[in-house]
Chain A
Amino acid sequence: MKRLSRRKLITTGLVATAGASGLAAVKLARRYGLIPPDGGGLYGPGETLTYAAQRLLTRHSLAREFNPNQISKPPFANEVAPLGDVFKSLQQGAFTDWRLTVDGMVARPASFALGELKSFPRRSQITHLACEEGWSYIAEWMGVPLSHILGVVGTLPQARYVVYRSFQPDWWESIDMADAMHPQTIVAHGMNGGELPVSFGGPLRLRVPRQLGYKSVKYITRLTITDSLKQFGKGLGSASPEGGYAWYAGI
């Protein structure tokens, strides 16, 4: 009887300590933005561990850049859903009427024409694009750093995520500010020394080189800066978790 009650005391104590430290860890993680929007549900614990660990390890690290002789020839253009007549007419006009709208938690909401974006400071980088399926290619990407655009519109201090939408209505994603302000996150309009081909996301593609390809959404038309992803879609952060894929794609 005595032994049993002591054992009970110890286990209850251990469970209570584990529970309390677990709660404290969750609170701390939430405070430092280490819980992904799809951090609930069956795979939430693993997803949260992955996102938190990678955020702590890779907040400022730079994606690897390669030499021009390492560029994949030819690169592989993944299949895309048909783009429709409106897209085709924009394409016939050399995308001069393509606009990127920036709204949400910004001081000066704006809508930039493609030509305007091309006049912004540009950055060129030779990076690896890996698809979650397992294939990859290396290409040179050229475009405006997202951080520059965010500076032009003046993001408010409470901003935590950037939601970006594609011309294809059911394709939208979001990234946290660590990735949004990262110097290699660019709104790409050029590839391998030329214009960005439509098959690779032209005229505008958000390139997030420290995450897998599906975060680099093609044909982007709108950026929304927000402090919470709850009101977007099902509140899981992007279209990917709604389709069963992780919001954070650093691995």
Chain B
Amino acid sequence: MALLVSGVEILISHPRFYWGEAGNVLTAPLFKLPIPASRATVPTGYGYVLPDQNGWSRYLHFQSAWVCVLTGLLYVAFALFQGHFRRNLVPAREDLSGRRLSAIIAQHLRLRPARADESRSYNVLQRIAYLVVIFVLFPMVIWTGLAMSPAIASAFPAAVAVLGGQQSARTIHFLVSLLLVLFLLIHVVLVCLSGFRNRMRAMITGRPAPDMERV
């Protein structure tokens, strides 16, 4: 949440995105967001300039990023050690067949709640989504975030070049954050749909709710 809020605040100072190494208001943007900016130098079409919130936003963004990266590393280390990914997240081979996948997608589209026996383990769509978030989106958002740093770029120039440049890194950072926000929204909506109390209890205690165990 802190990363999202501070990220949005930083973005408001220049709501334009470019591709390549360099980009500024004299460069044609790849796309721009139809929002006012916190800098008078950015032509937004709005007659007013938002207050500058970048200072604390940058401090908070990087501090939260450290918390996120360090807890993320701990999580991955423990999960690998305990075989959590292999046991609970890697989809079973038979679940990846076209028929099974389309069946479960259809089930989700009808918003049918999971049966009690299904809520004991993650279904194949959940597994794929979690794996993508853990092993694609989070690494990408950290990588593109670091690639924007001029100091990191000096030490690891290839990490920037592969992305297409520093402005490309910024653009990808924004797009990947959007995907993460999308994941978060869907995640919360599905938790609410499948019974908020039970799911929260399961997440915190690691056990399914007692009334479900009886079924």
The residues of A with any CB-CB pair to B shorter than 8 Å are: 42-43, 45-47, 49-50, 54, 57-58, 61-64, 66, 70, 72, 74-76, 78-79, 128, 130-138, 209-212, 240, 243-246, 250-251
Query: DSSP class of B's interface residues: helix, strand, loop or mixed?
Result: helix
When chains A and B are docked, how far (Å) is the Cα of A244 from the Cα of B65?
19
Q: Is the CB of A135 within 8 A of B14?
A: yes
Give the distance to chain A from B1, nearest Cβ to Cβ, in Å: 16
Which residue of A46, A64, A79 contacts B59 across the interface (Cβ within 8 Å)?
A46
Q: Is the CB of B13 within 8 A of A133?
A: yes
* B183 proximal to A (CB < 8 A): no
Q: Which residues of A contact B10 (CB under 8 A)?
A: 132-134
When chains A and B are docked, how far (Å) is the Cα of A133 from the Cα of B55?
10
Q: Which residues of B contact A246 (CB under 8 A)?
A: 55, 58-59, 62
Give the distance to chain B from A240, nearest Cβ to Cβ, in Å: 8
The 4 A-B residue pairs with the shortest CB-CB distance, nearest first, are: A46-B63, A244-B55, A250-B151, A134-B14
Best-surrounded residue of A62, A74, A136 (most CB of chain B within 10 A):
A136
List which B9-25 residues lie within 8 A (CB) of chain A: 10-11, 13-14, 16, 21-25
Give the distance to chain A from B98, nearest Cβ to Cβ, in Å: 43
Closest residue of chain A to B55 (Cβ to Cβ) is A244
Q: Is the CB of A136 within 8 A of B21?
A: yes
Produce 1/0 per residue, B117-147, CB < 8 A to A.
0000000000000000000000000000010
Q: Is the CB of B27 within 8 A of A72?
A: yes
* B152 proximal to A (CB < 8 A): yes
Give the distance to chain A from B165, nearest Cβ to Cβ, in Å: 9
Known A-B contacts A47-B62, A210-B151, A251-B152; the reply to A134 vs B170 at CB < 8 A is yes
The residues of B with any CB-CB pair to A shorter than 8 Å are: 10-11, 13-14, 16, 21-27, 39-41, 54-56, 58-60, 62-67, 146, 148-155, 157, 160, 166-167, 170
Closest residue of chain B to A46 (Cβ to Cβ) is B63
Closest residue of chain B to A215 (Cβ to Cβ) is B150
Q: Is the CB of A133 within 8 A of B54?
A: yes
When chains A and B are docked, how far (Å) is the Cα of A222 from the Cα of B83?
60
Q: Is the CB of A128 within 8 A of B151?
A: no
When chains A and B are docked, how far (Å) is the Cα of A200 from the Cα of B10?
23
Q: Is the CB of B149 within 8 A of A250?
A: yes
